[in-house]
Structure formats: C-alpha cells, structure tokens
C-alpha cells in the first residue's frame, strides 16, 4: 500500500517516536514501580489486568505514530523527463514545376523527392519543419510545425498540379522568390515565444531547373547571407537534358524538352550561406544527401529531469481512521468499565 514512500521531515519527529516507544514499553511492564502520571490516570479508567489493556496501549501508540508520520510529510518521489525542443527551424523548399515529372529518376523526380523528404522527417525529433512549394510563384504550404504526421500526410498529396500551372503567372521556376519567402518565414516572430535568433535556421532547396521567373536568386542570396540562414541546395535530375510528356487542354500529348540544372547558381547560394550543394541523380543519392544533412545539423536534445513530490497524506489518514475505529470498539467494549 505504501511502496516508494519517503518522509520529508522524518528526522524532526524521530525523538518523539523513540520517546513513545519507551512509554509503551513502560506501560506494558507488569511492575508498578513507575512514576508516570499518565499510566496511573489510565488505570483509573481501564483495568491493567484486562487482556485488552496491552492491545489498547499498542493501538494508542499506533494512532500516535501514524499521526506523527502524517506530520513528517509522506510523499512519493516521481522523476519525469522534460524534453526541451531546442532543435532548429527547417524550411523545405521544393520545386513542383512541370519538369519534376521527368522520369530520369524512377518513378519520377517529384515522387522520389516526396518519398525521401518524408523519410527525412521520420528522423526529426526536436526541429520545427515547414514546407514551401513553388513553380512560377512560391506558396507557404505548411507553416513551421512540430506536427510531423500532418507534414508527411501533406507531402504524400503533393504533385505538379498542386500549383495550377495552367495559369501563366504560376508556371515557371521562381527560385529567388521561393528562397526569399523561406527566409522571411524563418525570421518571423511566433506567438508561442520562438523569438528571432533563438533557434538555428536552415533552408533545404530542391529544384531541377534554373530560375526563369521574377526575383534573381542572387538577390535572395544577399538576404539569406545578411540574416545568417544556412542553405543547402540540391539539384534533382541527371546531367543531360530530358523530355517530359504533357497533356494539353485539347487532350493531346506534347513532348517538351526541359533544360538542365543551374549548378553554378546553386553552388554559389550554398557556399556563401555556409551550406552545401548536392547533385541528386538517383533515389539512393538523394537519400544519402538528406542523411548527410541530418548528420551535419544534428543537435543534442536537452533533457531536464524534474523530481516531483506527490503527497501521500490521504493514505495515512485512511489508516488513522481505521485505527480510530478499532479504538472506538475497545472503548465501548463490555470488558471496559467506563
């Protein structure tokens, strides 16, 4: 009933418990050579010769002992571990332009990218992760979150049709705009107390082409450098140009040639933001890239051990009530003359 219970103030009442044991010992002695007035007063009410007299004395001692134990503050120590989520903030910036349906990486560039990102998120424990999708315009698709299950579910539904690229202003590859949006998202203050500068910020950019829309990526590079946002850039696809098959509005299939990766710009962005450039020409290399990034950005999780004292007074009070019940039975027993 009382496993692992400790008493916070047991030393304070130890002398009192020892004195009580001594008095019980004197009370149970057959000899009447004593000078304790409380014993003579008890014998005026309860006969020493009755067989219930020692039971009464022991019961009285137990009641006193339990009362003192309650005063000694019985508690059960419970140790809990509080994990401080002091990881990093990661913005995954993924290209969803039409060229990502190319099959030079089986089954397609975008499907392999989705699978590897999802596996990468399985390994995360203390990092906030957000996702930006872009084609001709970037969209903050998933705000920074610890909800990894939701993030994986979202990724599984992504396709080149997630952004309606039939609209002219949404088609293309706006790498510069995507990087600027990622940087601003990482630096914004959150209502939940994640202040600017508290957590390390990184961007992981995946693209299979070169910027052909809006802001020059080198303008975005200046912004990222100024705010110390490390950027990893990943070129997805094989070295040579490839073709993709698209269905137009009249349901005719068109074969379009897509250009290669602007490695020079991607390398410059990575190098000047203290990151690294990778070339992913297969599922295996893309998996290794994310594994390398995870190792480079690995950060110990702080674990704070908290010791809680869970009061156990209620159990001892319950025992005390039971003892008082037995005492009541003895007081009114017919063997006692009250």
The model's pLDDT over 149-185, given as tens digits with 9 standing for 90+, comes to 999 999 999 999 999 988 888 988 999 999 999 999 9
Architecture of domain 86-300: 3-Layer(aba) Sandwich (3.40)
Strand 128-134 vs strand 88-95: parallel, antiparallel, or unpaired? parallel
Q: What is the per-residue pLDDT for 191?
A: 42
The structure's pTM equals 0.65
pLDDT confidence of 195, banded at 50, 70, 90? very low
Q: What is the per-residue pLDDT for 29?
A: 62
CB-CB contact of 101 with 168 (8 Å):
no
Q: What is the per-residue pLDDT for 338?
A: 44
Say if residue 316's pLDDT is above 90.
no
Q: What's the token pair of residue 28? A: 């149970």
Q: What is the per-residue pLDDT for 192?
A: 45
More confident position, 26 or 152? 152
CB-CB contact of 72 with 9 (8 Å):
yes
191-198 long-range Cβ contacts below 8 angstroms, 24+ apart: 194/89, 194/128
Q: What is the per-residue pLDDT for 66?
A: 83
More confident position, 88 or 45? 88
pLDDT confidence of 93, banded at 50, 70, 90? very high
Per the omega criterion (within 30 degrees of 0), is the bond before 107 cis?
Answer: yes
Say if residue 187's pLDDT is above 80.
yes
More confident position, 118 or 243? 118
CA distance 224 to 201: 10
CA distance 99 to 110: 9
Strand 277-280 vs strand 230-236: parallel, antiparallel, or unpaired? parallel
Going by C-alpha positions, the residue among 134, 85, 69, 123 that lies closest to residue 323 is 69
Q: What is the per-residue pLDDT for 60?
A: 76
More confident position, 201 or 55? 201
Say if residue 14's pLDDT is above 50.
yes
CA distance 312 to 320: 13
pLDDT confidence of 193, banded at 50, 70, 90? very low
Instruction: Return the DSSP state at 259.
Output: -
pLDDT confidence of 320, banded at 50, 70, 90? confident
More confident position, 99 or 83? 99
Task: Give the contacts of 330 (CB within 8 A, at least 6 positions apart).
Answer: 52, 55, 56, 59, 336
Start-to-end CA distance of the chain, whole Å, equals 36
């Amino acid at each position: 009933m009382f496993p692992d219970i400790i008493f916070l103030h047991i030393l304070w009442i130890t002398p009192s418990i020892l004195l009580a044991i001594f008095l019980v010992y004197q009370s149970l002695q057959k000899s009447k050579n004593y000078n304790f007035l409380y014993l003579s007063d008890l014998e005026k009410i309860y006969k020493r010769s009755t067989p219930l007299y020692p039971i009464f004395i022991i019961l009285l001692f137990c009641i006193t002992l339990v009362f003192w134990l309650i005063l000694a503050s019985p508690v059960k120590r419970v140790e809990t571990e509080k994990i401080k989520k002091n990881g990093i903030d990661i913005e995954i910036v993924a290209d969803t332009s039409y060229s990502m349906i190319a099959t030079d990486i089986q089954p397609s560039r975008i499907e392999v990218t989705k699978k590897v990102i999802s596996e990468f998120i399985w390994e995360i424990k203390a990092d906030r992760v957000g996702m930006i999708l872009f084609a001709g315009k970037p969209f903050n698709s998933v705000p920074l979150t610890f909800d990894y299950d939701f993030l994986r579910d979202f990724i599984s539904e992504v396709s080149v049709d997630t952004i309606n690229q039939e609209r002219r202003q949404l088609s293309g590859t706006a790498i510069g705009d995507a990087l600027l949006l990622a940087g601003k998202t990482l630096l914004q203050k959150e209502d939940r107390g994640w202040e600017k500068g508290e957590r390390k910020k990184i961007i992981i950019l995946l693209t299979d082409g070169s910027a052909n829309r809006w802001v020059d990526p080198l303008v975005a590079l200046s912004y990222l450098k100024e705010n110390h946002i490390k950027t990893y850039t990943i070129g997805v696809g094989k070295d040579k140009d490839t073709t993709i098959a698209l269905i137009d509005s009249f349901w005719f299939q068109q074969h379009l040639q897509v250009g290669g990766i602007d490695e020079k710009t991607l390398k410059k962005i990575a190098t000047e933001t203290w990151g690294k450039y990778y070339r992913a020409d297969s599922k295996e290399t893309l998996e290794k890239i994310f594994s390398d990034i995870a190792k480079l950005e690995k950060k110990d999780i702080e674990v704070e051990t908290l010791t809680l004292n869970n009061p156990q007074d209620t159990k001892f009070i319950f025992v005390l009530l039971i003892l008082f019940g037995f005492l009541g039975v003895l007081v009114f027993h017919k063997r006692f003359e009250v």
